[in-house]
């Protein structure tokens, strides 16, 4: 199989889907690896390094002519770059990458209309044998780490307690909202830097994980039930619950020097946790880093992609922190995507094995149709089994 890697054209995206170290195993497996010119340059990987590893450097058109194209961003996740790239897609090409399927189903439908077989890495199931393919976790880990560094860089005080001849400096207070992968890494990083850390999550089950990292688990007088949906994600709650949660969290937020927001619900707007009023009650100089900015933000004052000063509080709305450290995030992503590709190849790719949970759950488009039930629903399409009774072009 010819496997190609293309250069990412999304603004600010510096990662690359494959690194030179990942080329060798694919070549040894009998596959030809094509890499678009300068695909890894922004991440610190030269064309020469790819060539020495056994890849062939090609143009973008040649890369899209391969049997399988590996990307960091494709379809809806590629933004305006998708408009040009979709014209390069030919029937039968296999596209693997992040494609924002639950919020950009229209772009996925365009890939289907052009006959592509599209796999979305955001949809990798959270099961034990798929952990090494989980790009959301590998990238969120780095985002949580980086969020704390961003906060420390903007905070007009240091994080650790420090005793000097001039006196003792008290530690900064850091609150992490959401104890998923990004949140837990943010907790660990803030603790390593010496901050006094607390964390809140709607899922009571994560209390032990938070405490194991040395942080205090914030408990609010709320009935959360399990608070957990399939795959270990937080489940969406009712507006009455969120209103009460915002009220109670406001009191906790007001006491913090730093708030790191990481709460996300797959395919939905991020829950609003920190109100504008809560921001106003924080001490001047405090910092909020909202990792949910791209999905609407956990903080009411957040503007995606901007850093604002709101009532003396610095509010950061980063939309792609993993791209800020592309050397290592590309290494992790490459490990995820090659493990995923190798798994599909063992199942007989380009044939698609729908008996396999990983293959079935990540397959978005095939044979001219959107085939993933949730993506079809977001695209306003009938269930696939009813296609025989509906007019053509309902796919």
Q: Give the Cα-Cα-Cα angle 103, 276, 303 (nearest 5 degrees).
A: 40
Helix segments in the chain, DSSP class H:
20-28, 47-52, 60-64, 81-85, 105-113, 135-154, 181-192, 207-212, 239-253, 276-280, 326-346, 357-362, 373-378
Catalytic residue positions?
126, 131, 134, 137, 233
Identify the DSSP state of 254: T
Residue with tokens 């790719």: 349
The whole-angstrom separation of Cα 355 and Cα 86 is 29
The whole-angstrom separation of Cα 331 and Cα 310 is 37
The whole-angstrom separation of Cα 371 and Cα 43 is 34
The whole-angstrom separation of Cα 71 and Cα 64 is 11
- Please name the helix (run of DSSP H) or strand (run of DSSP E) that holds residue 261, with its range, or none: strand 258-261
Task: Decide: residue 111, CB within 10 A, 0-12 exposed, 13-18 middle, 19+ buried.
Answer: buried
Tokens of 388: 């025989």
Phi, psi for residue 31 in degrees, rounded to 5 = -100, 150
Crossing angle of the two packed helices 181-192 and 135-154, in degrees rounded to 10: 40
Q: Residue 188: which of 152, 157, 145, 151 has the closest Cα?
A: 145
Which residues have a Cβ under 8 Å from the Cβ of 317 and sit 6 or more positions away?
290, 293, 297, 302, 303, 304, 305, 306, 307, 308
Q: What is the dihedral of CA 219, 223, 226, 231, to 10 degrees?
A: -80
- How many helices (H) and strands (E) the chain has is answered by 13, 17
């Amino acid at each position: 199989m010819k496997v190609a890697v293309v250069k990412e054209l999304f603004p600010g995206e510096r990662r690359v889907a494959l690194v030179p170290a990942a080329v060798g195993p694919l070549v040894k497996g009998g596959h030809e690896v094509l890499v678009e010119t300068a695909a890894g340059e922004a991440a610190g990987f030269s064309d020469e390094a790819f060539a020495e590893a056994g890849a062939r450097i090609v143009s973008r058109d040649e890369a899209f002519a391969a049997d399988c194209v590996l990307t960091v961003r494709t379809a809806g996740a590629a933004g305006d770059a998708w408009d040009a790239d979709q014209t390069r897609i030919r029937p039968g090409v296999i596209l693997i990458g992040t494609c924002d399927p639950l919020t950009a189903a229209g772009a996925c439908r365009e890939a289907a209309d052009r006959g592509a077989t599209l796999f979305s890495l955001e949809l990798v199931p959270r099961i034990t044998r798929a952990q090494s393919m989980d790009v959301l976790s590998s990238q969120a880990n780095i985002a949580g780490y980086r969020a704390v560094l961003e906060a420390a860089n903007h905070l007009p005080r240091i994080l650790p307690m420090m005793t000097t001849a001039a006196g003792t400096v008290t530690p900064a207070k850091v609150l992490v909202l959401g104890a998923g992968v990004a949140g837990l890494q943010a907790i660990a990083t803030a603790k390593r830097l010496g901050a006094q850390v607390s964390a809140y999550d709607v899922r009571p089950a994560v209390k032990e994980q938070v405490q194991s990292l040395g942080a205090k688990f914030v408990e609010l007088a709320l009935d959360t039930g399990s608070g957990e949906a399939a795959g270990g994600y937080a489940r969406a709650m009712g507006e009455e619950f969120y209103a009460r949660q915002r009220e109670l969290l406001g009191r906790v937020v007001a006491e913090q020097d730093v708030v790191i927001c990481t709460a996300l619900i797959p395919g939905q707007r991020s829950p609003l946790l920190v109100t504008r009023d809560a921001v106003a009650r924080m001490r001047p100089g405090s910092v909020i880093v909202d990792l949910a900015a791209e999905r609407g933000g956990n903080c009411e004052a957040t503007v995606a992609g901007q850093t604002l000063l709101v009532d003396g509080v610095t509010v950061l709305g980063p939309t792609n922190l993993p791209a800020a450290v592309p050397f290592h995030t590309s290494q992790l992503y490459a490990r995820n995507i090659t493990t995923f590709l190798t798994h599909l190849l063992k199942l007989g790719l380009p044939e698609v094995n729908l008996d396999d949970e990983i293959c079935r759950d990540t397959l978005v488009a095939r044979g001219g149709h959107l085939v993933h039930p949730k993506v079809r629903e977001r695209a306003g399409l009938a269930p696939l089994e009813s296609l025989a009774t509906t007019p053509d072009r309902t796919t």
